[in-house]
Amino acid sequence: MATFAFEVNGKHATVTVDDPSTPLLFILQENFQLNGPRFGCGLSQCGACTVLLDGKPIRSCVTDISSVDGHRVTSLEGLSALDGESDANGLHPIQQAFVDEQAAQCGYCLSGPILYGYAFVRDNPGASRAAIEKGVSGDLICRCCTNSRMVDAIVRYAQGANQGKEHGR
């Protein structure tokens, strides 16, 4: 048995498992009862299990629990607290942009486009729509094909984030 200590959505956590190669996704789902990261393929091919590891999007379905020891894990549930940006509904501005654009059908994929969109906008401030459309990609699937609204939502968020910077927020 091995015990690993890490942070989940701002809270210190420890977990003891018999197999250090247990995927992070199953730990988040079973031990921490999280609904945000979702199993889609287990192969790092779709993005439904995406979480942020120290702020960087990763696939929790192929991430061994041992490799998150000492690190910080953030799922959709913890995104608003991460930046301290939360509206009355507890939504981060990029999540609110997805609501504003009604950018979901089943929504099962949302961890992927929201967290990759969040990281892309953070790392590429001022990116154009075309850059977002091409850049938020890479084994990332919305099978309901709500892609156009999801790109709209990320663009809306990016514009808001830029405006915030211009106003010295």
Partner 1 sequence: MKLKNPLKLEGARPLSEKAIDALEHLSASRRDFLKTAGVMMISFGGAATGKAQSAINPSGNVDNAQVDSWIAIGADNSITVLAGKCDFGQGFRTVQLQLAAEELFVSMDRITLVLCKTGITPNQGYTAGSFSTWTQFGRGGLRVALDTARDALFQLASQYFDVPVSQLTVTDGVFSVIGGDPDYTVSYGQLIEGQRFNLTVNPNAVPNDPSTWKILGKPIPRVDIPAKVKGTFQYAQKVRVPGMLHGKVVRPPWLGAHVQSVDKGAVSGLPGNPEVVQINDWVGVVADTEWHALKAAEALAGKITWSAGETLPAQSDLYKFITQQPSRDAYAVNTGDVDKVMSTAAKTISAQYLYPFQMHGSLASSCAVADVRGGSGKTATVKAWSATQSVYDVRTFLSTLLSIPTANIEVMQVEGSGCYGGNGADPVTFDAAFLSQAVGKPVRVQYTRQDEMTAGEHYGHAMVSNQKVGLDANGSIIAWDNETFLMVHGEGPLAAFTFGGAPGPGNFIPGALAGFPTGQLVPTKTPNPPFGGLFWDFGNSVPPYCTGAVNGVNLGTGTVASQRCLTRLVDSQLWTSYLRSPDHIQNTWSNESFMDEIAASLKQDPVLYRLRYLTDQRLIGILNAVTQNAHWETRPSPRPGNPHSGVVTGRGVACVLYSGFDGYVAVVAEVSVNQDTGVITVTKVTAGLDTGPVINPDGLRNQMEGQVIQGISRALLEEVKFSNLGKGGVGGGAVTTNDWDSYTVFEFGDTIPEIDTVLINNLKVAPTGAGETIITLMPAAIGNAVFDATGVRLRQIPMTPANFLAAKAAQKV
Report the residue number, 70 or 107, with the smaller CB distance to partner 1: 107
Determine which residue in the list 4, 6, 113, 157 makes contact with partner 1, applying CB under 8 A: 113
DSSP character string of 46-84:
S-TTEEEETTEEEEGGG-BGGGGTT-EEE-GGGHHHHHT
Closest contact distance (angstroms) between CB of 141 and partner 1 is: 5
What is each CA distance from 106 to 10, 62, 63, 110, 141, in whole angstroms? 28, 23, 25, 9, 13
Name the residue nearer to partner 1 (CB basis): 62 or 69.
62
| Amino acid type, 29 | Q
Write down the least CB distance from residue 139 to partner 1, Å. Answer: 7
Residues 27-56 within binding reach of partner 1 (CB under 8 A): 29-30, 33-43, 45-48
How far is C-alpha 166 from the chain's CA centre?
A: 25
Q: Which of residues 91-110 bind partner 1 (CB under 8 A)?
A: 91, 95, 98-99, 102, 104-110
Compute the least distance from the CB of residue 17 to partner 1, in Å. 8
